[in-house]
Amino acid sequence: MSGEFEFSKSKDVAPPIEIKLKKINQLFNSFDPSPFLDKELDDDAVEYIVSYALEYAKSNQKMIIYVPSNHKSKMSEIEIRRSIHNFFEYKRDLAEKRIKLKFREGQLSLIVGISFLVTCILVGEYVSTLAKNTLTYIITEGLLIGGWVAMWKPISEILYEWWPIYDEKKIYHKLSEMTIEFRYV
């Protein structure tokens, strides 16, 4: 294996997220008029950072930003760190709100689904008392199946659909606390 490098993915320590910039403004969304500390990160930068963090989700994260040495006096490392951390805290808070919204939607859907299921069962029971033939049996079973199908969305929302959002929240939380180092090249 001479000349080749092997890279192992340790669960405790991930290789740093490295970003090489020509100027520090590349890191931020150029269309965002917000003050510097509230500025939104560039979409491509966010996608790169988050995808890297997802690859090493169980590891502590560290970011190294390479900046040309002639920009050293033009920037405040503290403000840039704070801005990056603020951005990921904001994304974490949004994910938390989406989880709460998903549960509220699930609860409302559950109420509607149960009401529909009960209605289908009651109508099915009523139809089955009218006559005992194949048609009433099909209608009764169809109503029962329809009622349970209506329960699919609430059950799915409450049991499963919030997990990916929770994983996003964990990644954003980790990124909001990562160490950020600057290197001048």
Token pair of 151 as six digits? 């329960």
Q: Are residues 84 and 26 in the same domain?
A: yes
Distance CA 32, CA 12 (A): 35
Residue 105, domain member (yes or no):
yes
pLDDT of amino acid 60: 84
Instruction: Report yes or no: 147 and 120 within 8 Å, Cβ to Cβ.
Output: yes
Residue 44, domain member (yes or no):
yes
pLDDT of amino acid 36: 52
Q: Are residues 72 and 118 in the same domain?
A: no
Provide the domain limits for residue 76.
17-95+175-184
pLDDT of amino acid 7: 40
**Strand positions, DSSP E, 30-100:** 62-67
User: What interhelical angle do 134-150 and 77-130 show, nearest 10?
Assistant: 160
Q: Are residues 114 and 77 in the same domain?
A: no
Instruction: Report yes or no: 61 and 14 within 8 Å, Cβ to Cβ.
Output: yes
Residue 12, domain member (yes or no):
no
pLDDT of amino acid 3: 41
Residue 31, domain member (yes or no):
yes
Tell me if residue 130 falls in helix, strand or coil: helix
Distance CA 24, CA 67 (A): 7
Number of domains in the chain: 2
Q: Are residues 121 and 134 in the same domain?
A: yes
Q: Are residues 90 and 23 in the same domain?
A: yes
pLDDT of amino acid 178: 93
Residue 11, domain member (yes or no):
no
Instruction: Judge residue 3's burial from the number of C-beta atoms within 10 Å of its C-beta, 0-12 exposed, 13-18 middle, 19 or more buried.
Output: exposed
pLDDT mean for each 10 residues of the chain (185 residues):
42 80 82 64 90 86 89 76 93 96 94 96 93 91 95 92 94 94 90
Instruction: Report yes or no: 147 and 103 within 8 Å, Cβ to Cβ.
Output: no
Q: Are residues 71 and 160 in the same domain?
A: no
pLDDT of amino acid 46: 92
Instruction: Report yes or no: 92 and 169 within 8 Å, Cβ to Cβ.
Output: yes
Q: Are residues 145 and 86 in the same domain?
A: no
Residue 67, domain member (yes or no):
yes
Q: Are residues 120 and 89 in the same domain?
A: no
Distance CA 169, CA 88 (A): 9
Q: Are residues 82 and 106 in the same domain?
A: no
Of 141, 117, 145, 116, the C-alpha closest to 128 is: 141
Residue 125, domain member (yes or no):
yes
Instruction: Report yes or no: 184 and 69 within 8 Å, Cβ to Cβ.
Output: yes
Q: Are residues 141 and 111 in the same domain?
A: yes
Q: Are residues 79 and 108 in the same domain?
A: no
pLDDT of amino acid 4: 47
Q: Are residues 37 and 128 in the same domain?
A: no
